Chain A
Amino acid sequence: MNRDPFAALADPTRRAIIDLLAQQALNINQISDHFNTVSRQAVTKQLKYLEDSGLVNIEKNGREKYCYLALDNLEEVNNWLRKYEKFWNKNLDKLEDYLKKREGK
């Protein structure tokens, strides 16, 4: 099932989960330990919601299920990296100009 990632972020528990996973990948128990007022079952449900919206990947590792952020394909990141790539390409052109200027010196 596909869900809208932005609707997924409208919920405070799901946002808190994202915030936790931004620091490191965690298993479901570790995530639910962070919540006093939310049951493990509810956390699992929210994680499923986040997985369905493409924000979190859940991977089975032995008996544990590990959750980590899956945000690197978001357009924002790619745009930002493209900007940085442009910056370096422009400057590596300038490096060539510099070498040309200094030719014979």
Chain B
Amino acid sequence: MAKEINIERFYPYPIEKVWNAITTSDALSDWLMPNDFKLEIGHEFTFKTKPQPSFDGIVKCKVIDFEAPIRLSYTWQGGPLKKPTTVSFELKSKANGTVLYFRHSGFEGFINQYIVRFLLGSGWKNLLFKKIKLHLDK
């Protein structure tokens, strides 16, 4: 099951600047979410945003690994993600800027849980109900 998010971006800025933007708490607060990030393996931190329906607005994270200024990964757990997933950033220096390879992976547990909750919870009943209704409306 290869369900993951991969995004490649080019930023016309030197690698150190991009690295600082993804590894300092202030910068992350600016472009991602308020947080108490620290560049320290094993450091546990949270991202906090406005609560939404079915999401309390808190993402729990833990720094897994980093190597300045080329790679950083941390766990990502919150909302419907009851098991930690992994977010990773890899930077490559180019003549006129930096390429970022972003990856969010580890959704397998989530996919099974989510789908089963959907199927065994109200999801299937609603769908069945809709189907029956469609049938009756014919």
> Chain B at the A interface: mostly helix, strand, loop or mixed?
helix
**Residue A85 at the chain B interface, CB threshold 8 Å:** yes
The reply to whether B119 and A9 contact each other, CB–CB distance below 8 Å, is yes
Task: Kindly state the separation between the CA atoms of A22 and B120 in the bound complex, as whole angstroms.
Answer: 11
Cross-chain contact of B128 among A6, A76, A77, A94 (Cβ < 8 A):
A6
Q: Are the C-beta atoms of A72 and B7 separated by less than 8 Å?
A: no
Chain A residue nearest to B22 (CB atoms) is A95
Say yes or no: is B1 at the interface (Cβ < 8 Å to chain A).
yes
Q: Does A91 contact B (CB under 8 A)?
A: yes
Known interface pairs A95-B22, A99-B17; A10-B111 also in contact (CB < 8 Å):
no
Query: Does A92 contact B21, Cβ atoms closer than 8 Å?
Result: no
Q: Does B41 contact A (CB under 8 A)?
A: no
Q: Tell me the A51-105 residues at the B interface (CB within 8 Å).
A: 69, 71-72, 74, 76-77, 80-81, 84-85, 88-89, 91-92, 94-99, 102-103
B residues near A72, Cβ cutoff 8 Å: 1, 3, 111, 115
Across-interface contacts of A19 in B (CB, < 8 A): 116, 120
A77 touches B3 (CB 8 A): yes
A88 to B31: give the CA distance in the assembly, Å: 11
A18 on the B face (CB < 8 A)? yes
Select which of B102, B112, B119 is within 8 A of A92 by beta carbon: B102
- B50 on interface, CB distance cutoff 8 Å: no
Determine the distance from Cα of A99 to Cα of B80 in the docked complex, in whole angstroms: 31
- Distance of A31 Cα from B133 Cα, bound (Å): 34
Seed contacts A7-B128, A71-B112, A77-B115; 5 additional CB < 8 Å A-B pairs: A6-B128, A9-B120, A19-B120, A99-B21, A102-B17
A-B pairs with beta carbons under 8 Å apart, 14 shown: A10-B124, A22-B112, A22-B113, A69-B115, A69-B116, A71-B112, A72-B1, A80-B114, A88-B104, A89-B7, A92-B9, A95-B9, A98-B30, A99-B11
